[in-house]
Structure 1
Amino acid sequence: MKTKNQNADFLHVGEKLLAWYKNHGRDLPFRKTNDPYKIWICEIIFQQTRIEQGLNHYRNFIQRFPDVQTLAHAETDEVLLYWKGLGYYSRALNLHKAALQIINDFNGVFPSAHQDILQLKGVGKYTAAAISSICFGKKIAAVDGNFYRVLSRVFADDFDVSHAKAFDYFSELAVKMMPEKEAGHFNEAMMDLGSEICKPKNPVCIYCPLNEACLAFNLGKIPLFPVKTKKVKPTDLELTYYFVEYKDQFLIKQRQVDFIWKKLYEFPTEIPVVFEKLISGQKKISHKLTHKNLTIHLYKVTLHSKKMFDDFATQEQFSAITYEDSHQKSFPKPLENYLFSLFEGE
């Protein structure tokens, strides 16, 4: 049984939210444009990155790839390089593929139809809704975790946000609150309210523009919302790497496997038996991904024979690189941290 307020004046609540946003909305560079390309880039960057952490990455990415054409014609390695530090590198690969889609399928013009935007690689319902509303004025709710949290609390709604139909359910609720021709601003207002006021923990309800209308607040039940019953249990995964070096060079190869770190560079994962006697260091690293707990065993192998080094590299198709040149490659974060500890951190 849902406890939402059946008599709520949805539109009035939406107008109060917009009034608050016009006075308190965050001053962000991508809010000064309606360019769908730039909005697309910012939405992908900030999906899993806090605003304050990602702003410089956004500026640098846009400076280097100012439009779809530049991004589409760039090398994959360079796109990954400009994504360095953001993690979730599959997002960068999808951006690159989607840019090529726009060139090939839409004559280089960012599509304006919502269904066409949804067809772009890596673009889900949230991102398509954000672009459609902000850039093209479509009355579509950009439902994300902020929406689930705010709407669940305002209406004391116990609809399970982990349910497959949660997006559609809360979209319908949000659209009822949207003032006409203000969909973009409404979506941005909801994002700001969820990020700055209606936080997952310790929300500052006293400053919330919707506190008078918020059922969960008035009933003293904020901690009970949103309702989420389905949680993905992370799996454990062990990886082994060998840092094989000769003088100032070490060996790397680009990953091709899909399940994690696709197209990033890594060290050898196996070595000849004769190399095992040359192991000069060992390190164990714990690293968390969204649904995986990694344990990485790293062994340092120091070779004194150039022939042995070159033969292994040729046989197994590794590239030899210096630490200085490695800055132009993108590595998984734990391997990047290991390199830093070897060459600069110790």
Structure 2
Amino acid sequence: MESINYIDIDWPDMFKPIRTEKLAGKIAKVIAWYKSKGRLCKHVILVSHSMGGLVCRSACKIHEAEKNVLGVIHGVQPVTGAAAAYWRMKAGFERTEQGTFKGLSSKASAWVLGTNGEEVTCILGNAPGGLELLPNQHYTDNKDEYGWLRVPGKEGKEFVFPRHGNPYEEIYKVTDQFWRLINPGWLAPLDKRSPPINPFVNRKHAWERYIKCIEKAEKFHLSLQTFSHKNTYQFYSGSLNTVDKISFSRGDLSFLHYEMPSDFGYPAVMETTEPRHKSSARGASIMYVDNKDQEIKPPLVATTRLINMSRPGDYQGGGDGTVPDSSGNALTAVLNSHKLDGVEHQEAFGDANAIDYIFKAVRNLALKRIREGEVASAR
């Protein structure tokens, strides 16, 4: 009987592309170590969480580790990406369940990675590993529609992106529309404590660096496609509110009014350029656009319009809070795909049902290999 070894791998440094050759090399070393001890070991079983699934699949396909892998068990894997990645780069990391451990955990994540779009963009916009979580060319929403970004036109007509199956060119590299992924000015915020530098030069270099990062993510997605190991099990969650698409809506902007004393016996109303609706840094995205739909900053004018982006609370069910059903269940050439309700993305491996599924999958993979060995011996 073959030895089964559990390999613990950390999610790679997000400021580097996912380095799957490291996993492939570690698999080979584990097998060699067991053989050096006189043990019969030809394969390992890989168990992955979230983006670890991308690492395992890439190691098997791109770095030819598949021959050394008996099977793979994926948990809450963003197979085709997650619209939440786009949402967070516009609005920041959300906080949930106030007064609970999960609430504290989400607050900590937001504090580290960013409470608003500006803070998140300067981190993930410079991180190929983080950008690999964005919806890729195969991503669909939970209704199996490829156009996951919905933008209202000025005349009321809705535009859907990507139109041609290329989110990298149609969304991620766009600079002149309010629904762009990246605000170039957020990629390299100026440090007020440092000597002043030319902001235009700084922004140009930051954008060029971002383009290199997003192209690395695109190359990774294109090389991986929807490949899966021939012996794959996967579980995903489907009952928590999860962003599977992004929708924008338009609104009229109203300004604050102040009443000032008047010499004529009645107060004079003074209108300011301060909007009633302020752009939120707490899990929301409110933008201001001019009559050409170009995003602008205060001071604002009467022709300014308000743009709101949908929030996680607008979605009912459909995923694990980060990865939607459509992505978590996207691998089709698998031995088994299992839906676990109520399993939260980050805490998935702490769920008793998830742990039970993993152990049963390991057992089934081992028994499958034993049966295959018995058949081969009989021949």
Alignment TM-score, normalising by the size of structure 1: 0.25
Alignment TM-score, normalising by the size of structure 2: 0.23
Structure with bigger RCO (C-alpha 8 Å, 6+ apart): 2
Instruction: Say which structure is richer in strand.
Output: 2
